[in-house]
Structure 1
Amino acid sequence: MNNVIKRVKYNARRNAGNVGDSPGMIRVPDGALKPHIAMFSYNKDELITSEGKDIKVILAQLKKCDNHTHWIKINGLGDARLIEQIGEHLHINPLVLEDIANIHQRPKFDEYEDYAFSTSRIVHFNSEDELVNHQFSAIIKDNLIISFEEDHVECFEAVKARLKAGKGAIRTAGPGYMCYALTDTIIDTYFILLAQIGDKLDAIEDKVYTDADKSIMFNSQQIKRTLIIIRRASWPERDKINDMIRSESPLITPEVKLFLRDAYDHCIQAMDLIENYKEVTSSIIDLYLSMVSNRMNEIMKVLTIISVIFIPLTFIAGIYGMNFARQDDKGHIIPGNMPELYWHNGYAYALLLMFFIAVTLVYVFWKKGWFNKL
């Protein structure tokens, strides 16, 4: 991975809604990807998976596996009708459906009568070193959880691997535990991202001492902006997890709350790292600006010494460069008009005088130690 973050790809697609729209309207952003549905139905003994592009695959497997817990994973929000059908089938509040399609939500946890709604931010570097900030949403209800992601990039391979292995509580602890597992995975991606940023900061800091140039300031500022975006994702994530821990919903069982406390600690650690890296970034910028200022001072010092040496020499040359005539047009001596101009060897005397002054000044500066500090 390069040491330069190219740019921040922060959801270039904007919400297609208009000012004054009725609440609960589903507006799919322009350029949103068509959905791909992956469904995982599991219990202690088995895992059944299926894939599709419409709600038929969901309804068929719900009917087939009525004694299982279901994770319905939807990648892509480019089908407003699919979101509406899910809302109609599960009796979801239209405001929740609107939040799913509105891809600029901050992390939160909302409780309703028989279901809960959760959002998070998935932040990671893509293959081109662009910072991608996508929304993750989840509806938790009875024996199922439906997750919504903006793109088709797979971020939950570890959770799927745990499902297939069938170890731990992931198959038996219900949809609330699955929500925890997905949230914890998102927080883990923050640590991966921060580790990459830490490597970039180390490389930039090494460059400050070896080959400093203005790219240091630009790259540090870009990393600082990246850290601000991660901070905007992690701080409300902490509040969201805290709301889940304090929730009285039966979907969030005491067993799940125990794991959520661990996720809460991880979120606090990520926030501490973010603040530390922000301080390091600011220090690098300040250090670079100080080095530039010191370098400019050294240059000005050299120029000042040269100027001080040549000022008296220029003065002497200027004095004897004035062309006042020694005699008038009739050959009479004009008193007070530079008798030195007619001295024998006057040119050599002037050069010796200027050389003596220059050497004297250089000696004085050397005795003061000015040359040692250049």
Structure 2
Amino acid sequence: MANYNKRIRYKNKWRNIKVGESPGTIAIPDDAVKPRIAVFSFNQTDLQISEGSDFKTITQQIKKCTEHTHWIKINGLGDAALIESIGSLLNINHLVLEDVVNTHQRPKFDEYDDYVFGTSRIIYFNKKDEMVNCQFSALVKDNLIISFEERHYNYFGVVEARLQAGKGSIRTAGPGYIFYALTDTILDNYFVLLGNLGDQIDQTEDRLYKSPDKTIMFEAQQLKRMLIAIRRACWPERDKINDMIRSENALITKEVKVYLRDAYDHCIQAMDLIESYKEVTSSLIDLYLSMVSNRMNEIMKVLTIISVIFIPLTFIAGIYGMNFSREDTHGHVISDNMPELYLHHGYIYALILMLAIGIIQLIIFWRKGWFNKL
């Protein structure tokens, strides 16, 4: 069973803003990790893979495999020289390179004369239960695609496995198809996240019905925050995919657009799930607060009934607790000062009267239904 008391932290990414800096400046984040490079060169019959950490890994593989399509996979953005070398090699606008290293970007798709550029958000949970929200960027040009990821986390292992298997269109449909495959993998992982969150929402709801406590409200709020983070990633992803479908660029072929329409449908489904789960989490919070309020009302109802019962009894006891003397200083009887004090068995009669008043009140309250659901 999940540990609901463990706080789920969020790994937020903030841009280091330098006021007045030149557009296109490549400013590497302080916590950026050193890059790991994997180059997949493939065609219908062959797949060549090379790995390294410097620019030579890329150039050597491209020169060696001239009849191949290349997927250059870069994990880590901690090398400004590498980013600049890639920009010089492919003649990439410096504003695009700036978007690659400034990892606060929302999902988008930009077209240029001979290449296209897109970003997405990668969301996953690390071993510390931190919700990591990283940026994924990709450049598609000619017969190659370069993908950039912030971390060394192997998020696209499924796509690598498909390349190695060589089945379907992944080796023959060009770099635009690889771009689609990476985007679709990101969307599929959104569904995995939403599935896990949906299970947690159901478990939280069950606990709310069985044994509600204040931790439920905190858990529901955490779940809602996670859904908001996924929504912020998924909502512009829909616009990005729509832009790709409408693109006239030759790098996004008609075959790829067919698959992109399917990815667009998946994005819409994910957004529907997110909105549904958000409503459920909000309802859980409202329901818990209503239950707390109802419980408080029940407690106040019990206390009110007890108070109402004892008010007349206290009144009677208060009257006969007044210390007015029955006789004056000369020994004369004062007839108006509590004649009941000298009544035989007066104490018993007072108790009986108080008991009768209490019983009569209980009967009246019962007939009015005040004791229901106490």
C-alpha distance in structure 1 between counterparts of 2:343 and 2:81, whole Å = 106
Matched, 1:44 2:44: yes
Which string of whole-angstrom CA distances, capped at 9 and with x for unpartnered residues, describes residues 282-328 of structure 1? Answer: 22122212211111111111111111110000101111111111122
Normalization by structure 2: what TM-score?
A: 0.97
Query: Which residue in the other structure is 2:232 paired with?
Result: 232
Query: Which residue in the other structure is 1:364 paired with?
Result: 364
C-alpha distance in structure 1 between counterparts of 2:3 and 2:188, whole Å = 22
Structure 2 stretches lacking a partner, 5+ long: none
Contact 2:10 2:131 in 1 (8 A): yes
C-alpha distance in structure 2 between counterparts of 1:175 and 1:104, whole Å = 25
Helix, strand or coil for the counterpart of 2:372?
Answer: helix
C-alpha distance in structure 1 between counterparts of 2:12 and 2:147, whole Å = 19
Contact 1:17 1:27 in 2 (8 A): no
Query: Which residue in the other structure is 2:154 paired with?
Result: 154
C-alpha distance in structure 2 between counterparts of 1:8 and 1:35, whole Å = 26
Query: Which residue in the other structure is 2:176 paired with?
Result: 176
C-alpha distance in structure 2 between counterparts of 1:55 and 1:290, whole Å = 61
Query: Which residue in the other structure is 2:197 paired with?
Result: 197
C-alpha distance in structure 2 between counterparts of 1:96 and 1:8, whole Å = 31
1:298-317 equivalence runs, <5 A:
298-317=298-317
Alignment root-mean-square deviation, CA: 1.3
Contact 1:242 1:264 in 2 (8 A): yes
Query: Which residue in the other structure is 1:83 paired with?
Result: 83
1:324-335 equivalence runs, <5 A:
324-335=324-335
Contact 2:11 2:130 in 1 (8 A): no
More moved, 357-366 vs 307-316: 357-366
C-alpha distance in structure 2 between counterparts of 1:128 and 1:198, whole Å = 20
C-alpha distance in structure 2 between counterparts of 1:167 and 1:19, whole Å = 50
Query: Which residue in the other structure is 1:296 paired with?
Result: 296
Query: Which residue in the other structure is 1:11 paired with?
Result: 12
CA shift for structure 1 position 3: 5.9
CA shift for structure 1 position 370: 2.0
C-alpha distance in structure 2 between counterparts of 1:8 and 1:264, whole Å = 30
Query: Which residue in the other structure is 2:116 paired with?
Result: 116
1:234-313 equivalence runs, <5 A:
234-313=234-313
C-alpha distance in structure 2 between counterparts of 1:309 and 1:338, whole Å = 25
C-alpha distance in structure 1 between counterparts of 2:321 and 2:312, whole Å = 14
Which string of whole-angstrom CA distances, capped at 9 and with x for unpartnered residues, describes residues 222-274 of structure 1? Answer: 11111111111111100000100111111101111111111111111101111
Structure 1 stretches lacking a partner, 5+ long: none
Query: Which residue in the other structure is 2:350 paired with?
Result: 350
C-alpha distance in structure 2 between counterparts of 1:80 and 1:330, whole Å = 112
Which string of whole-angstrom CA distances, capped at 9 and with x for unpartnered residues, describes residues 141-186 of structure 1? Answer: 1111110111111111110000000000100111000000000000
C-alpha distance in structure 1 between counterparts of 2:351 and 2:108, whole Å = 83
1:124-135 equivalence runs, <5 A:
124-135=124-135
Runs of 4+ in 1 over 3 A off after TM superposition: none
Give 1:95's aligned amino acid. Answer: L
C-alpha distance in structure 2 between counterparts of 1:39 and 1:329, whole Å = 116
Contact 1:3 1:204 in 2 (8 A): no
Contact 1:41 1:68 in 2 (8 A): yes
CA shift for structure 1 position 350: 1.4
Number of matched pairs? 373
Contact 1:121 1:136 in 2 (8 A): yes
Contact 1:8 1:226 in 2 (8 A): no
